Amino acid sequence: DSFVSFNGQYVVFENEAIYRNPLNQSELNKFLHVTNANDHPLIFMNESTMKATTEYHSYIETSLGSLLFPHPEEDASFYIDKEIYQSLLFCSQDEEKQYFEKFPEFDFIRWHPYSVDVLPKGGSKAEGIKQMIDRLGFDLKDVYAFGDGMNDLEMLKAVGTGVAMGNAVSEAKALADLVTSDVSQNGIWNGLKELQLI
């Protein structure tokens, strides 16, 4: 009933949304026109569901499949009059660079060879955690966080103890206070034991 989601853009405490940081809708509209022209599909995500701008694309199927998610239904107008907390852009790494200068209101974080997280500028898991911790009355120095990707870097730096999974990117391992085993080899359990939290 309490969680930080969408890379920190939507935070719920005891079933109440306490922080919302959606993507700017007018910028999202411009973004959609450019990605459509480049044949790069998008996914729009809010607190209840996700919709794709195309009926099917192999990049969507492959990248979301790695997270055991099915290909979302198509609804290219889903973002209109809704708060969209994160979008996913589907393109190769070479193709993503054209969007950086055109859309300074967004942050782009690659998480898969075919997919990039699109977040509000400055949005991060670290900020979402701060919102939750403020509500709880805790101190960030007492917070432990586990991460493995590029979207975890700010979080690992912000908390008192940052733990990188064994399968983490090298940038996450460099920032972490501890590197545990691979996520598929009980990494969180092993990390909690090493930290003497269990």
CATH number of domain containing 177: 3.40.50.1000
Which pLDDT belongs to residue 160? 97
| 116 lies in the same domain as 89 | yes
CB under 8 Å to 187, separation ≥6 — which residues? 146, 165, 166, 167, 180, 181
Edge-to-edge strand list for the sheet holding 144-147: 144-147, 161-164, 178-179
Task: Centre a 10 Å sphere on the Cβ of residue 147 and count the other Cβ atoms it contains.
Answer: 22
Q: State the Cα–Cα distance between residues 175 and 183, nearest whole angstrom.
A: 18
| 34 lies in the same domain as 104 | yes
What range does the domain containing 11 cover?
1-19+124-137
Identify which of 85, 16, 18, 76 has the alpha carbon closest to the alpha carbon of residue 48. 85
Per the structure, the count of domains in the chain is 3
Which pLDDT belongs to residue 152? 96
Q: pLDDT tens digits for 34-53?
A: 999 999 999 999 999 999 99
| 88 lies in the same domain as 105 | yes
- Could you tell me the CATH number of the domain that includes residue 36? 3.30.1240.10
| 30 lies in the same domain as 113 | yes
Q: Give the type of residue at 22.
A: P
Question: How, if at all, do strands 42-45 and 178-179 pair?
Answer: unpaired
Query: ∠ CA(170), CA(100), CA(103), 5° rounding?
Result: 135
Which pLDDT belongs to residue 50? 98
| 168 lies in the same domain as 114 | no
Beta bridge partners of 178: 163
pTM for this entry: 0.91
Q: Which residues of the chain have pLDDT under 70?
A: none
| 105 lies in the same domain as 39 | yes
Q: State the Cα–Cα distance between residues 125 and 160, nearest whole angstrom.
A: 14
Which pLDDT belongs to residue 83? 98
Which pLDDT belongs to residue 19? 98
51-70 burial code (b ≥16 CB/10 A, e <16): bbbbeebebbeebbeeeeee
Q: Mutual orientation of helices 93-102 and 25-37 as an angle, nearest 10°?
A: 140
| 153 lies in the same domain as 102 | no
